[in-house]
């Protein structure tokens, strides 16, 4: 390892924002809602139609992945859902993206936007 390589590696670490530093739950909700052509308020509502429920679950998953928010905080952001609901949604999306290339790509696109 040369000093130049070490300096470059340290520079990359120092300039990269910490996980969750600039991404907020509100931002994730707005970007996910837009991606699914819904209003952010729909994700916080009690609507249970398939499209809204999927978008809400994706938002829960991404907030968990991209921020330091707890399950309880995520639940409060999305209409007062219980932490177990958030946990179940995160597990469901994590399992689904292994088999569903469309959803995996949609989530990657949202992450790029964030």
The domains found in the chain, sorted by start residue, are 21-113 (1.10.1750.10)
pLDDT tens, 61-103?
999 999 999 999 999 999 999 999 999 999 999 999 999 999 9
Claim: this prediction has a pTM higher than 0.75: yes
Nearest Cα to 107, choosing from 47, 48, 40, 31?
A: 31
Return the SS3 of 37: coil
How far apart (Å, rounded) are the C-alpha atoms in residues 103 and 106? 5
Least confident among 3-7, 40-44, 92-96: 3-7
Residue with tokens 């964030």: 114
């Amino acid at each position: 390892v040369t000093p130049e390589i070490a300096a470059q590696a340290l520079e990359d670490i120092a300039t990269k924002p910490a996980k969750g530093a600039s991404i907020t739950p509100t931002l994730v909700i707005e970007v996910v809602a837009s991606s699914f052509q819904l209003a952010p308020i729909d994700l916080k509502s009690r609507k249970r139609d398939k499209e809204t429920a999927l978008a809400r679950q994706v938002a829960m998953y991404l907030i968990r992945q991209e921020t330091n928010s707890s399950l309880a905080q995520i639940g409060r952001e999305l209409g007062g859902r219980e932490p177990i609901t958030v946990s179940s949604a995160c597990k469901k999306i994590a399992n689904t993206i292994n088999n569903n290339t469309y959803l995996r790509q949609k989530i990657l696109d949202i992450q790029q936007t964030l």
